Structure 1
Amino acid sequence: MGTVYAAIDSAQTRMAIKVVHPAQAADEEFRARFRREVHLSQQVTGECLVPVREADTEGPAPWLATPFVPGPTLDRQVATAGPLDGASLCAVAAGTAAALTAIHDAGIVHRDVKPQNVILSPTGPKLLDFGIAHALDGTSVTRTGVMTGTPGWISPEHYRTGVVGPEADIFAWGALIGYAATGRLPFGSGAADVVAFRVLSAEPDLDGVPGGLRPLVEQSLSKEPSDRPTAAELAHASTLLLASQETAVLPTAEDGRQPSLVADLISLNWHLPPGAEPDWPAPSRRRNRTRLYLAVAAAAAVLGSMGGALAASQASDTAQGQAPAGSSTSTVAAGAAAAAQHSPSQVESPTTSASAIPTATPHTLEAAPAPAYTRTDDAQPTIDEWVAARVPATPAERAAAQRLINDAAPILKGQNYMGDDVIVTFNPTAQTMFVTFGPGTFPEGQDYQDDPNWTDIRRGLMFGSCSEAQQDFHNDTTWPYGRAVVVYRESMANPLVADFRDVTHIDSCRV
């Protein structure tokens, strides 16, 4: 939604300036959300938060300024150096819980707690990005029908009802600490709808979370919001765990009591993890600088998620050093020490023309060629196979998925199905391609079975997916997906196998 620039203010203090893109600035609804973000963020203070220092919400290019926070984001640190443990892990748990306590006490819901929004600074963990924060007074200005947040960190109640309260942040905190301790998302990765299904119906994978933290993480990941602890309770419990670390040598104050503040304990136990980025060198002192200005020649920093959107959950680049590939974020990097890295792109937008997709041959596959289709059974596809399917990974899979999406989306236009949304995933083990759509939006008391167009829509999608799979099967001897399956999400928690075909015979695509 914008760009973050490195900057210095009149006192030569290093800052980060978040500037909204012109397209967003022209959107009055977004501008109202941004105005609200600034107002709410200025009310919250805490040792483990990044405060808003200055802002302009009314100008042609709205912006806000926060102190520059050096250090890697949690996701980058885990990706490069592995999971955290010991005092560092407890410090992240205590610090982020304390930050959420301050946020919730101010009547705000963060709504996007995730590793990309936690920076491991030299002085401790910092929680940032209030880009989609809400007050708890019911005056949300989030666009109707748009689910904000990142799959894997979205709470079950958000999927069910769209309602988000402090309990949703607690759920995300549990996922965050589980990830920091193990390097894995508690509900796995993959297509957004599959992750949502696991969040709603599966137990989290917490193997490797230390014994002291595990009960807190388990309670935080409860399916029922009322069963989760508060942020204050998590901060208290995590602080006790941090104080119990062998590295904690607590000095005694003049009154004989030991310090118990989270900030004190973090400062005593925190050591910047190996591989952390060096601090941004301080600029030379200059006088007569009376206004904040953009240091374009300095290192650039990348925008965190302002507004968020439901998309495939992948480990992203750092919030203050890199920009994800294919995003609208532009990075100003003139004179920067390091170039931005790009993460692998997922399936392109349905608006992308099919001609722009490279033709896949056995010699262009990025992954090792799979054996040709070997299934001999006609077994009913299972939801477990659907859950285990992954997003397109090879050029051939991406091309097939894009062609399918381009052909399938028009079928849903004008129908009672959400957003003309079609997701294509692949299960190499089951040698099956899944085409998923829905959930539907129907009048109260009705469902997809009452839709007179249901049969035609299902058959149209089945014919398209079967034909696409058959074409690839016959044209590419290494193409393993000899079965096509259409899955309808009656709800995010209830996917149904609507139809399937073996595609190894020329007449198998008849509907």
Structure 2
Amino acid sequence: MHGRITTERPTMEALRAGDPAEIGGYRVLARLGAGGMGQVYLGLSPGGRHVALKVIRADFDSAEALARFRREVATVGELRSPFTAALVGAGLDAPPYWLATEYVQGPTLTQAVTRHGPLPVGTCLRLMAALGEALADVHARGVQHRDLKPHNVILAPDGPRLIDFGIARGDDQTAITHTGAAAGTPGYLAPEVIRWQRMSPAADVFALAGTLAYAATGRPPFGAGDSHGVIYRSVHEPIDVAGVDPALAGLIARCADKDPAARPAAGQVPALCGVPGAIIEDPAYRRLLDLTEVPPPDLPTAVAHGLVPSGHDRATGVLTGPAPAARPRRTLLAVIGGGAAAAVAAGVLLFQFLPGAGGATDSPSSSGTSSGTARAGRSPGATGGPTRPTGAGTPTDVFSKETDADFAALAWSPRDGRCAPAVRTESTSQALGAQWTAPREPAAPRGSVDVGFRAADGAPSGYYVAAEMRPPVALRGNRITGIVTTRPVALRADGWATLHYPRDFSQPKDWAYDLGTGTWTVVWYHVHPNGDAYYIGCDGFLVS
């Protein structure tokens, strides 16, 4: 059997305080991932069957969210395909709402590419053929996936499987979404979906092209950075297949045609790939299966491998035993952030598409990153330190209201230019067209950097932001974390706020580290008049 139980878990994470110990009669053994709507756990039935348990968040109980979750249960229950994970059970009568599907062993395509780099041409063609066949089977059953992406492809021993049908839609189902919002993941959304034109199975073929572009290059298919810039490029620019074998690149480009009528049907893709055999015969694919984790067979094994903390109470799902000594919140955040692995987002991103926005607008002094993303360097008109008006309703300090463990673990990755785990932002950040800047070339040790925030759609009067700087984990000590936060800063009339590290981050109560080698994370808050601060975005940079 491929795989092993290991403490270096690319998918399974230890349970945390507050995680349930049991859901619907299934014993919870580990965390598998987090998404916009909730958490996914590894569960074990009384008879020893492993399942993936998706639990909707307790604070995500709007009628719309529950309707979407119920529809997911109905879709997965009706979709009996060899290319998907079968529904095992669900709880829809009272919170916590949950669904259980069979647990498919294998790495996601994201994990495989992250660990091994871009896949060989032959493997990509076999993978494309297999996924084309999977989509054709799903479409023949009257369902569109609508969120195909590398994270939702599991490389199983018997071939790839499609997972996470949270926004899948049947031919007879009505879309459930906010007015002016589209459901899906920027970079894998077809132009007609973004423009709110007719949604058809051709949109899944566009997402298939993006998924294979990522597999072949290791890069996001339409670049990284601000979602508005990614969306703009998805509509107006060709998919990124630079350096890819011409035959494969041509097929990917054909499937990513802006005109849905020009794309091949999913069922035509396998023949276009022209592969000689099944993907499970491919040596490179079989090597990827070595990343497969064998789930713990029982609770004692999960405890022994640190997945279930000792004292995790079966009834309450909280850690029992002596309470830990109280410590300052900033230190607690650093300990959690340094010790928790970054969970890969497993759910749906809902983004606001702004008609007429045409993508992000770069500042004139920008340089060094992809089009459509606010770039490094001082923002227009930035001089000296930040402006801090005073008066009624002016916050004087920052009190973070973000206590979720995923927020504490939030960290920027230089590999894809994104932050993980997935954390829900304050909704007002979407209306602002929020952007942020940081150096896109490595900064020098013991130097300084400028980071900035911009409201691309205009600065509301009296809108304050603050930035939190998280040093590389290696620099953090047990007592001094090095995590520092600026005072509240009002956005200027042009929508910009620029902050200088370390000058603007050194306060009487905080001491900013010198820039040390490694990955630095910048967390942005919206600060309310009373000082309450809510997460609105994340960026980062390298120091080398």
Task: Tell me how many residue pairs correspond in the alignment.
Answer: 348
**What is the aligned partner in structure 2 of residue 95 from structure 1?**
130
**What is the aligned partner in structure 2 of residue 56 from structure 1?**
91
| 1:425 corresponds to 2:445 | no
Please give the residue correspondences for 1:6-405 in structure 2 after superposition, counting only pairs within 5 Å: 6-24=42-60, 26-137=61-172, 139-161=174-196, 164-238=199-273, 240-241=274-275, 243=276, 248=277, 265-269=278-282, 270-273=285-288, 275-283=290-298, 297=303, 340-342=340-342, 387=371, 389=373
For residue 42 of structure 1, report the CA deviation from its aligned partner. Answer: 1.9
Distance 1:297-1:37 versus aligned 2 partners, 3 A rule: farther
Structure with greater strand percent: 2
For residue 177 of structure 1, report the CA deviation from its aligned partner. Answer: 0.4
Q: Do the aligned partners of 1:418 and 1:438 also contact (CA within 8 Å) in 2? A: no
Deviations 1:184-240 (A, max 9, x none): 1221111112212221222222123334432221111111122111111113333x3
How far apart, in 2, do the equivalents of 1:22 and 1:475 lie? 35
How far apart, in 2, do the equivalents of 1:300 and 1:104 lie? 41
For residue 386 of structure 1, report the CA deviation from its aligned partner. Answer: 7.4
Q: Do the aligned partners of 2:368 and 2:376 also contact (CA within 8 Å) in 1? A: no
Distance 1:7-1:469 versus aligned 2 partners, 3 A rule: closer
For residue 39 of structure 1, report the CA deviation from its aligned partner. Answer: 1.0
How far apart, in 2, do the equivalents of 1:401 and 1:95 lie? 54
SS in 2 for 1:177: helix
Q: Do the aligned partners of 1:44 and 1:102 also contact (CA within 8 Å) in 2? A: no
**What is the aligned partner in structure 2 of residue 3 from structure 1?**
39
For residue 173 of structure 1, report the CA deviation from its aligned partner. Answer: 0.6
Q: Do the aligned partners of 1:190 and 1:391 also contact (CA within 8 Å) in 2? A: no
**Paired AA for residue 280 in structure 1:** P
SS in 2 for 1:213: helix
How far apart, in 1, do the equivalents of 2:59 and 2:300 lie? 21
For residue 131 of structure 1, report the CA deviation from its aligned partner. Answer: 0.8
Q: Do the aligned partners of 1:6 and 1:299 also contact (CA within 8 Å) in 2? A: no
Distance 1:276-1:463 versus aligned 2 partners, 3 A rule: same
Distance 1:71-1:138 versus aligned 2 partners, 3 A rule: closer
**Paired AA for residue 286 in structure 2:** H
**Paired AA for residue 8 in structure 1:** L
How far apart, in 2, do the equivalents of 1:119 and 1:174 lie? 17
Q: Do the aligned partners of 2:206 and 2:257 also contact (CA within 8 Å) in 1? A: yes
Alpha-carbon RMSD across the aligned residues, in angstroms, is: 4.6
**Paired AA for residue 14 in structure 1:** H
For residue 278 of structure 1, report the CA deviation from its aligned partner. Answer: 3.3
Distance 1:295-1:152 versus aligned 2 partners, 3 A rule: farther
Q: Do the aligned partners of 1:422 and 1:435 also contact (CA within 8 Å) in 2? A: yes
Q: TM-score, normalised by structure 2?
A: 0.54
**Paired AA for residue 159 in structure 1:** I
Q: Do the aligned partners of 1:152 and 1:185 also contact (CA within 8 Å) in 2? A: yes
Deviations 1:403-452 (A, max 9, x none): 99x99xxxxxxxx99723332335768x9988655669xxxxxxxxxxxx
How far apart, in 2, do the equivalents of 1:341 and 1:96 lie? 29
**What is the aligned partner in structure 1 of residue 11 from structure 2?**
none
Distance 1:176-1:299 versus aligned 2 partners, 3 A rule: farther
Q: Do the aligned partners of 2:135 and 2:266 also contact (CA within 8 Å) in 1? A: yes
How far apart, in 2, do the equivalents of 1:474 and 1:278 lie? 45
How far apart, in 2, do the equivalents of 1:221 and 1:402 lie? 45
Q: Do the aligned partners of 1:71 and 1:277 also contact (CA within 8 Å) in 2? A: yes
- Larger Rg belongs to: 1
Q: TM-score, normalised by structure 1?
A: 0.57
For residue 75 of structure 1, report the CA deviation from its aligned partner. Answer: 1.0
For residue 392 of structure 1, report the CA deviation from its aligned partner. Answer: 7.7
Return 5+ residue gaps in structure 2 as ranges.
Answer: 1-36, 308-338, 346-362, 396-427, 442-448, 464-489, 507-513, 516-544
For residue 296 of structure 1, report the CA deviation from its aligned partner. Answer: 7.6
Q: Do the aligned partners of 1:5 and 1:296 also contact (CA within 8 Å) in 2? A: no
Deviations 1:79-116 (A, max 9, x none): 11111115432332122222211222222221211111
How far apart, in 1, do the equivalents of 2:43 and 2:504 lie? 57
Distance 1:471-1:211 versus aligned 2 partners, 3 A rule: closer
**Paired AA for residue 272 in structure 2:** A
For residue 344 of structure 1, report the CA deviation from its aligned partner. Answer: 11
SS in 2 for 1:208: coil
Distance 1:133-1:185 versus aligned 2 partners, 3 A rule: same
